[in-house]
Amino acid sequence: MAKGRGFTIIELLIVMAVMAILLVIGVVDVSSSQVHARDNERKADVETLATALETFYDGASGTQGQYRYPSTCMIQLLHAGIYTTLPDIDQSALISPSNTDGPDDTSCTDTNPPAQSGVVISVVAATNTTQTTSGVTPQPSGINDIYVYQPLAADGSLCVSGSTECVKYNIYYYQESDSSVHMVTSRHQ
C-alpha cells in the first residue's frame, strides 16, 4: 500500500490553530491602536480649545478693560455661540471622536446661524464648581464623549453670564486607554 503525500488531520489542525492565534493578535492590536488614536484626538482637541480660550483671554482686554475667559453662556451655545466667541478655532476640535449625537443644551439663546451647518459640538458647560476629575458634572465618560468647560470667577463660583469676570477655567475629557477623566487648566490660575 502506497503512502499518501497529503497532510494529516493533526497537521492541518495545528496550522489552523496558529492562524487563529495570529488573527486574534492582529485584531487586538488594531483595536488598541484605534483606542490610542481616539485618545490622541481628544487630547489634541482639548489643547486646541485651550489655545483658543487663551487667545480669547488675551484679546478680551480690549473690550472689557480686563483679562477674562468666556462664561458658560458664551461657550455652550451649540450653534453659532462658540464660533462667535472663538472665531479662529478649528471646528473639528469641537467634535469628540466618538460623539455622533453631541450634547443638547440650549439654555442660552443665540440668533446667529451656525458656522457650519449640521455640526453638533461636544463642548458642554460644567454645572458645578467642583474642581476634580471625579466631581465635575456632567461627567465625561465613554458613554457621553464630551469636553466639559468649567470657567470660574475669582471667588471660585461658576461664571454663567458674560458680565462675570472669569479668571480661570478647567476642561475635562475622557481617555479610553486608562478609563479616566483628565483635566486641563488655564494658564492663568
Q: Is 89 a domain residue?
A: yes
Q: Is 67 a domain residue?
A: yes
Residue 110 has pLDDT above 50, yes or no: no
SS3 25: helix
Please compute the mean of the pLDDT values over residues 75-100 and round it to a whole number: 69
Say how many domains are in the chain: 1
Residue 178 has pLDDT above 80, yes or no: yes
Please compute the mean of the pLDDT values over residues 122-138 and round it to a whole number: 90
Query: Distance of CA 14 to CAs 6, 95, 131, Å?
Result: 15, 47, 56
Q: Is 41 a domain residue?
A: yes
Q: Is 1 a domain residue?
A: no
**Domain encompassing residue 79:** 10-185
Q: Where are the alpha helices (DSSP H) in 96-160?
A: none
Q: Is 71 a domain residue?
A: yes
pLDDT given for residue 142 in this prediction: 82
If one counts every other C-beta atom within 10 angstroms of the C-beta of residue 42, the result is 24
Q: Is 163 a domain residue?
A: yes
Kindly report the pTM of this predicted structure.
0.75
Residue 103 one-letter amino acid: P
Residue with cell 478693560: 65
Q: Is 3 a domain residue?
A: no
Q: Is 113 a domain residue?
A: yes
Burial (CB count <10 Å: 0-12, 13-18, 19+), residue 115: middle
pLDDT given for residue 41 in this prediction: 92
Average pLDDT score, the chain: 80
